[in-house]
């Protein structure tokens, strides 16, 4: 083993950088992160102990104020975007003004699914509600910015930090709840989001979802008439035909179509808010009604449009004396993989290698659900998955690996710095 290699490994073990390989400003940025390790964990504890489940409007606002105070010390102006009109708390928007280099949009969220589990450290882990999703992610973003600020790398830069208060249960309509996020994206050149990290990968694509409802009508009458001209096929055969055709004709990479509930008979009523309903039918009666509800997951707007077109055509090819109507409701849009996203990933990969952390590649979009960054993905290059290394998100016992924080924070800080400096832009 060469002397440099030994030195390099020693540096890695000691948690210090192969300093000579980074330009002085980047060395300084990376060093600032290390100086804040304990203070960062303490801040994480304070944010976790401020309960902020989506429905806890006062708590969401209070944790927003905690972040706002930190951001103001770095020269950000902060404002609260009230969301009472959609039944949510609101969003924190913090802006650092400048006209030097590329403009960044950093996305996180204030709300958690569960609340009430206090912050505690045990071994190399910290536990508590939202400690990973995504107060740990917010912390990485915040401490990366603090390192940039301390090193003087934030001066003259435009950075918008957008922490939504309803990521886990988004206010509707999206035109209202995501209006300010879109507006921030239109004034930015790249968006980075701090949802959970998975080893060696970052998200250049996330699937979106849409729901659909199929309502089938048949000619009700004596069962002996089924298969015949007068009675036709009945609503249940027709629904079965349609679903079997979905199953046979829709599959393609990253597209899924899942019927989640079905009710049929002479009577069928479905209550969407409770995802339940009732059905009845007699063995000697051809059923007149079926309701099916389900979702679609897709990786691009085009893929969604193609899938809906196919589904409409299938539903329209009715069996005798039946008819079907199919309706769609837009859910979250997809973040389609793009060249711009791939370029941001290439910058992250270079940062990671230069810091001695090894290569980074694209996460399989099929493995990732939708997230806030998807709302802006058609407007600018995007990269997600820059957040915390944790587990048991949305469940009791949620945790974060504390040892990974300096690594993830340094990498995020370097990524922000290089992107603002022009890396990753054509
Ligand atoms: Zn999240």
Span 410-419, pLDDT tens digits:
999 999 999 9
Which among 330, 360, 387 is the end of a domain? Answer: 330
Separation of CA 391 and ligand 1 centre (Å): 12
Q: Please determine, for residue 174, whether its predicted confidence score (pLDDT) is greater than 50.
A: yes
Residue 153 lies in a domain: yes
Pairwise pLDDT comparison (4 vs 340), residue with the higher score: 340
Buried-state track 226-260, b at ≥16 Cβ within 10 A, e below 16: beeeebbbbbbbbbbbbbebbeeebeeebbbbebe
Separation of CA 302 and ligand 1 centre (Å): 26
Read off the pLDDT of each residue in 29-36 and give the average, rounded to a whole number.
95
Nearest 10 degrees: Cα torsion 218, 220, 224, 229? -50
Beta-strand relationship, 125-127 and 120-122: antiparallel
Q: Which residues line ion ligand 1, judged by CB < 5 Å?
A: 133-134
Separation of CA 110 and ligand 1 centre (Å): 9
Separation of CA 195 and ligand 1 centre (Å): 5
**Of 2-6, 40-44, 106-110, which gets the smallest average pLDDT?**
2-6
Q: Looking at the structure, do residues 50 and 129 belong to the same domain, yes or no?
A: yes
As a whole number of angstroms, the distance between CA 303 and CA 143 comes to 38
Q: Looking at the structure, do residues 371 and 254 belong to the same domain, yes or no?
A: no
Cβ(235)–Cβ(248) below 8 Å: no
Query: Exposed, middle or buried by CB within 10 Å (0-12, 13-18, 19+), for 418?
Result: buried
299 CB-near residues (< 8 Å, 6+ apart): 205, 207, 208, 253, 254, 255, 334, 336, 337, 365
**Domain of 225: which CATH number?**
3.30.70.360
Q: Looking at the structure, do residues 215 and 171 belong to the same domain, yes or no?
A: no
As a whole number of angstroms, the distance between CA 38 and CA 57 comes to 30
> Quick one: how many helices (H) and strands (E) in the chain?
11, 20
pLDDT of amino acid 425: 87
pLDDT of amino acid 366: 82
Read off the pLDDT of each residue in 234-240 and give the average, rounded to a whole number.
98
Q: Looking at the structure, do residues 246 and 355 belong to the same domain, yes or no?
A: no
CA 178 to chain CA centroid, Å, is: 14
Q: Please determine, for residue 400, whether its predicted confidence score (pLDDT) is greater than 70.
A: yes
Tokens 């003087």 correspond to: 152
pLDDT of amino acid 273: 87
Read off the pLDDT of each residue in 70-89 and give the average, rounded to a whole number.
98
Q: Please determine, for residue 6, whether its predicted confidence score (pLDDT) is greater than 90.
A: no
Q: Looking at the structure, do residues 319 and 339 belong to the same domain, yes or no?
A: no
Separation of CA 167 and ligand 1 centre (Å): 7
Read off the pLDDT of each residue in 137-152 and give the average, rounded to a whole number.
98
Separation of CA 328 and ligand 1 centre (Å): 26
Q: Please determine, for residue 354, whether its predicted confidence score (pLDDT) is greater than 60.
A: yes
Buried-state track 380-399, b at ≥16 Cβ within 10 A, e below 16: bbbbbbbbbbbeebeeeebb
Cβ(385)–Cβ(205) below 8 Å: no
Separation of CA 422 and ligand 1 centre (Å): 28
Count up the domains in the chain and report the number.
Answer: 2
Separation of CA 369 and ligand 1 centre (Å): 10
pLDDT of amino acid 18: 54
Which among 309, 330, 351 is the end of a domain? Answer: 330
**Of 8-22, 61-75, 290-304, which gets the smallest average pLDDT?**
8-22
Q: Please determine, for residue 91, whether its predicted confidence score (pLDDT) is greater than 70.
A: yes
Backbone angles phi, psi at 367, to 5 degrees: -95, -5
Q: Please determine, for residue 131, whether its predicted confidence score (pLDDT) is greater than 50.
A: yes
Q: Please determine, for residue 117, whether its predicted confidence score (pLDDT) is greater than 60.
A: yes
pLDDT of amino acid 196: 94
Q: Looking at the structure, do residues 287 and 404 belong to the same domain, yes or no?
A: no
Separation of CA 107 and ligand 1 centre (Å): 10
Separation of CA 385 and ligand 1 centre (Å): 10
Read off the pLDDT of each residue in 152-181 and give the average, rounded to a whole number.
97
Q: Please determine, for residue 71, whether its predicted confidence score (pLDDT) is greater than 60.
A: yes
Q: Looking at the structure, do residues 290 and 194 belong to the same domain, yes or no?
A: no
Separation of CA 162 and ligand 1 centre (Å): 13
Cβ(18)–Cβ(37) below 8 Å: no
Q: Looking at the structure, do residues 158 and 117 belong to the same domain, yes or no?
A: yes
Q: Looking at the structure, do residues 41 and 136 belong to the same domain, yes or no?
A: yes
Separation of CA 393 and ligand 1 centre (Å): 8
Separation of CA 91 and ligand 1 centre (Å): 14
DSSP track, 184-232? HHHT-SEEEE-PPPBTTEEBS-B-EEEEEEEEEEE--EEGGGTTSTTT-
**Domain of 397: which CATH number?**
3.40.630.10
Question: pLDDT averaged over the chain?
Answer: 94
Separation of CA 12 and ligand 1 centre (Å): 30
Verdict on whether the full-model pTM lies above 0.85: yes
Which among 314, 330, 346 is the end of a domain? Answer: 330
Separation of CA 370 and ligand 1 centre (Å): 10
pLDDT of amino acid 11: 46
CA 94 to chain CA centroid, Å, is: 20
pLDDT of amino acid 4: 42
Q: Looking at the structure, do residues 218 and 70 belong to the same domain, yes or no?
A: no
How far apart, in Å, are the Cα atoms of 340 and each of 103, 305, 333? 15, 23, 18
% of the chain beyond a pLDDT of 70: 95
Q: Looking at the structure, do residues 361 and 322 belong to the same domain, yes or no?
A: no
Read off the pLDDT of each residue in 386-413 and give the average, rounded to a whole number.
96
Confidence of residue 20 (pLDDT cuts 50, 70, 90): low
Q: Please determine, for residue 5, whether its predicted confidence score (pLDDT) is greater than 60.
A: no
Separation of CA 146 and ligand 1 centre (Å): 22
Point out which residues pair with 104 in neighbouring strands: 159, 190
pLDDT of amino acid 311: 98
Separation of CA 260 and ligand 1 centre (Å): 24
Separation of CA 196 and ligand 1 centre (Å): 7
pLDDT of amino acid 3: 43
Separation of CA 193 and ligand 1 centre (Å): 10
Q: Looking at the structure, do residues 199 and 299 belong to the same domain, yes or no?
A: no
163 CB-near residues (< 8 Å, 6+ apart): 64, 67, 91, 92, 93, 94, 107, 108, 109, 110, 138
Summarised one tens digit per residue, pLDDT across range 360-389 is 999 998 887 778 999 999 999 999 999 999
Separation of CA 76 and ligand 1 centre (Å): 23
Domain residue limits at 356: 12-206+335-420
Residue 237 lies in a domain: yes
Separation of CA 371 and ligand 1 centre (Å): 7
As a whole number of angstroms, the distance between CA 165 and CA 6 comes to 47
**Of 20-24, 98-102, 239-243, 347-351, which gets the smallest average pLDDT?**
20-24
How far apart, in Å, are the Cα atoms of 346 and each of 197, 286, 411? 16, 60, 13
Summarised one tens digit per residue, pLDDT across range 270-290 is 998 898 999 999 999 999 999
pLDDT of amino acid 12: 47
Separation of CA 75 and ligand 1 centre (Å): 26
pLDDT of amino acid 368: 74
């Amino acid at each position: 083993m060469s002397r440099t290699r030994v030195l390099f490994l020693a540096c890695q073990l000691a948690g210090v950088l192969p300093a000579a390989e980074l330009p002085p400003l980047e060395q300084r940025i990376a060093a600032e992160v290390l100086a804040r390790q304990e203070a960062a964990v303490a801040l994480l504890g304070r944010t976790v102990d401020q309960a902020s489940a989506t429905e806890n409007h006062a708590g969401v606002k209070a944790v927003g104020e905690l972040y706002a105070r930190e951001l103001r010390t770095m020269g950000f102006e902060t404002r609260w975007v009230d969301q009472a009109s959609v039944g949510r708390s609101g969003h924190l928007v913090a802006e650092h003004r400048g006209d030097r280099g590329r403009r960044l949009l950093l996305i996180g969220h204030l709300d958690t699914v569960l609340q009430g589990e206090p912050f505690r450290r045990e071994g190399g882990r910290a536990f508590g509600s939202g400690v990973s999703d995504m107060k740990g992610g917010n912390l990485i973003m915040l401490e990366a910015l603090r390192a940039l600020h301390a090193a003087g790398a934030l001066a003259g830069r435009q950075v918008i930090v957008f922490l939504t208060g309803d990521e886990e249960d988004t206010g509707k309509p999206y035109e209202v709840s995501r209006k300010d996020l879109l507006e921030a994206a239109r004034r930015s050149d790249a968006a980075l989001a701090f949802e959970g990290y998975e080893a060696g990968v970052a998200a250049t694509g996330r699937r979106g979802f849409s729901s659909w409802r199929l309502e089938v009508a048949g000619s009700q009458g004596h069962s002996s008439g089924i298969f015949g001209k007068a009675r036709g096929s009945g609503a249940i055969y027709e629904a079965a035909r349609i679903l079997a055709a979905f199953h046979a004709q829709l599959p393609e990479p990253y597209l899924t179509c899942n019927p989640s509930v079905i009710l049929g008979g002479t009577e069928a009523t479905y209550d969407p808010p409770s995802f339940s309903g009732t059905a009845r039918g007699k063995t000697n009666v051809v059923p007149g009604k079926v309701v099916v509800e389900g979702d679609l997951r897709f990786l691009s707007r085009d893929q969604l449009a193609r899938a809906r077109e196919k589904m409409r055509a299938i539903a329209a090819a009715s069996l005798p004396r039946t008819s079907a109507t199919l309706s769609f409701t837009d859910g979250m849009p997809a973040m389609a993989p793009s060249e711009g996203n791939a370029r941001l990933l290439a910058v992250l990969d270079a940062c990671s290698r230069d810091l001695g952390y090894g290569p980074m590649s694209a996460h399989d979009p099929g493995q990732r659900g939708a997230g806030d960054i998807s709302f802006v993905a058609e407007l600018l290059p995007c990269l997600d998955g820059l957040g915390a290394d944790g587990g048991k998100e949305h469940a009791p016992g949620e945790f974060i690996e504390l040892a990974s924080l300096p690594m993830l924070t340094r990498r995020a800080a370097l990524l922000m710095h290089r992107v603002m400096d022009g890396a990753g832009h054509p």
